[in-house]
Structure formats: C-alpha cells, structure tokens
Amino acid sequence: MRTKQTLPIQGFEIESIATPGIFHPVMGQFLLLGSVCLFLPFLASGHMIHYRSADPSASLLNSQARGPTTSNISDIFVGRCEEHVQCLQQDQCNTNTTLRGTCDQLWGTFVDAFAYKDPCQAGNDDYDAVIAAAMPHANKDESLFWSGLPKLALNNGRVTGRYTILEETLPGYIANGLTWCGQTGAPGINYNTPCPSAYSSGCANETMYTFWRAASRAFARQATGTISVALDGSRTNPPAFRNTSTFATNELPNLNTAAVTHVNILLVYDISVKGDNRRALCDKGSIKDLQTLLTDRGFTYTCIEGPRGFKFLQCAGDPDNARCVEACSFAVIPNASIALVLAASLLIKLVTGVRN
C-alpha cells in the first residue's frame, strides 16, 4: 500500500510505502532490526563516507573565462523579455512582471548603456535606466539572496516556488548567462574578442558586473518581510560568507531596515564534497561575521545548517549518493528478500498459531 505524506520540508511531498497485514513478534523484531538502516546515515553523519570528490581548489570566482558578446543577443534578450512578460514558462512565473515600455525599447535602453563604450570604463549608474524600466520584484518573505550557489539557488526557486532570486525577476531572467561588452568602434558591440572581466587588471569598472551590481542593489531595495540568504557551507576558500561578495557589498547594505523584518541564513552543504562537508557552521567564522553585520543593522536572524530542501534538490540530481539514503524505504530491500520475509512470517504463523 502506498501512502503519500506531505512533510513540512520546503513544500516537498515524500512518498512512503507501508506494507499491509502480516505482523509477528519475531518477524516484527527482524523487520525492526532491518529498519535500523533508517538511522545509519544519521549516525554516520558524513564523517566516514567517501563520495565523488569535488575539486576544492577550483575557484568559482576566478574560473570564468568569457567569450565575446553572446551571438544573437538582441533576439535572446527580447525573446526572454517577452517570455517573462507573457508568463510563457508557467512554472516559472512566480514574480510580477514590472516592464515599463516594450521589450524592444528595453533592449534599446540596454544597448545604450554599453555600446560604443570602453567595457572597462562603465559608470556606476550606466544601467540605472535599464533597471528602472525592468525593476526586480519578489513577493513579501520570498526574496532569496545567494553566494556561491548559482545553480542550486535557481533550481530551488523553480522547484519550490517559495523563493525568488534575482535571476527569476525580469532583469535577472533576461541577463542571466549572457555575455556582453561594448567597443568604441563600429558596430559598438564586441562580437569578436573575449569580453574583459572585472577580475582582469585595470578593469574594475567592467560593464557586465556593473549591470549585476545595479540589479542586485535594486533587488535588495525591494525586499520585504523575511529575507533568506543561501550560502555555500562546504567551501572554505573563499569562506561561506565572503565580505567582498555582491551579497555583502551591494545587497546587504541596500536592504530596507524598515521593510525587512528578519534574515534567514541557509547554510547549504554540498553533497558531492567528500568527508566532512559541513565546513561552515552557524556559530563560527564567516557566519559569525555576517551575524554581527546583521545585528549592527538591526536585523534579527536565524541560521539553519543544512536546510533539507536544498539537500533534496541535490539528491534529485544524485539519488545514489549515500548522503541521500536517509529514509529506509522498503525499496532498499530487494524484492526477493521481502518475499522471503513474508513467506517466513506466514510459516511461523501457521506453526505457532499466533493470531495477528
């Protein structure tokens, strides 16, 4: 018999299988023993288990080789804009659209921000008109900021619908994953050579990151109620909370202290990291620094180590990972074993005449 239970874990539905009928004191104990596997992963708590290794030395931030401006960027830009405005990807329409004017006009405003300009000489306010025409928006209590978890944060928003990240709002949705930069000569947009990164020397005022900073500031300003921030609790260098991150430098300072009531810190652990993946903890190191910053600004906070929704999302992509085998569903006992157990139970019942 299959029963569906909805557990209060970030909106996930967990299906459990209950076997009907036969129960015997002896076999019951046997089954009870078998069910100890339910708790094994908790006992192991990640210390003794070895998994597919992640490369801890790979720096997320510095491994960003850029190409030239994305080809057909105007079509993609306008197409994504239309898609967002018309809510064509229904499961992703969890934010109100905020477009002023048309998508073609928004493209024009966007191009004006960087075309025919040196890509390393962007002004801080170059994209203000773009953001004003396409303000990010999230419902009260649903703004989710992230550092170090771009894919997981986006997946979380899409699957649960409980949070909204910048990349789901109009400006973030349009620009996410695109590359663009200008050049002083015609045609004003560089489609041929790699766009410089803000990490390159002499390019601190790089145009793409200027856009993201502007979008991040606007996203922070609109947040109301409880906000959440998901941090990579399995990385050490940089630490989970990096005080030079966009979250620290552009989002945190722009939260409206009158509108934001509480900050929910989500320390997400990477299931692919071998050994102890709980490298950051709520009451230690960089998270302590973050908490001090929050307190200084008058915010109350909670901090969750290993929020389960984020773990289950990772498990969906890697279901055989031992960290994911938490519930000892009967599926882990081969069918033949179940048949044997049931047959033995019946036999004992017949011999002993025990009534169930």
Residues that bind ligand NFD (CB under 6 A): 60-61, 64, 145-148, 165-167, 176, 197-199, 206, 209, 212, 216, 242, 245-247, 251
Task: Sheet with 300-305: list strands edge to edge.
Answer: 144-147, 225-232, 260-268, 300-305
Dist. CA 247–CA 114, nearest whole Å: 24
Distance of closest approach, residue 317 Cβ to ligand NFD, in angstroms: 19
Residue number, nearest CB to ligand NFD: 198
Instruction: Specify the residue, 204 or 346, whose C-beta has the smaller distance to ligand NFD.
Output: 204
Peptide bond into 187 cis (omega under 30): yes
Based on CB atoms, which residue is closest to ligand NFD, 206 or 313?
206
3-class secondary structure, 304? strand
Which residue carries 């992963």 as its tokens? 41
For ligand NFD, the closer CB: 98 or 345: 98
Q: Of 57 and 335, which CB lies nearer to ligand NFD in the complex structure?
A: 57
> Whole-number minimum distance, CB 207 to ligand NFD, in Å?
10
Q: Which residue do the tokens 């100890």 mark?
A: 36
Q: Give me the least distance between CB of 260 and ligand NFD, in Å please.
A: 14
| Token pair 């289950």: residue | 312
Tell me how far, at minimum, the Cβ of 322 lies from ligand NFD, in Å. 27
User: Measured from the CB atom, is 208 or 303 closer to ligand NFD?
Assistant: 208
Amino acid, res. 121: Q
> Which CB atom, from 198 or from 267, has the smaller least distance to ligand NFD?
198
Decide: residue 211, CB within 10 A, 0-12 exposed, 13-18 middle, 19+ buried. Answer: buried
Q: Is the peptide bond before 238 cis (omega within 30 degrees of 0)?
A: yes
What is the torsional sign of CA 201, 207, 210, 216?
negative
Task: Kindly state the smallest distance separating residue 78's Cβ from ligand NFD, in Å.
Answer: 19
Cβ proximity to ligand NFD: between 121 and 329 the closer is 121
- Dihedral class, residue 2 (left if φ above 0, else alpha if ψ from -120 to 50, else beta): beta
Least Cβ distance, residue 170 to ligand NFD (angstroms): 13
CA separation for the pair 113, 126 (Å, rounded) = 5
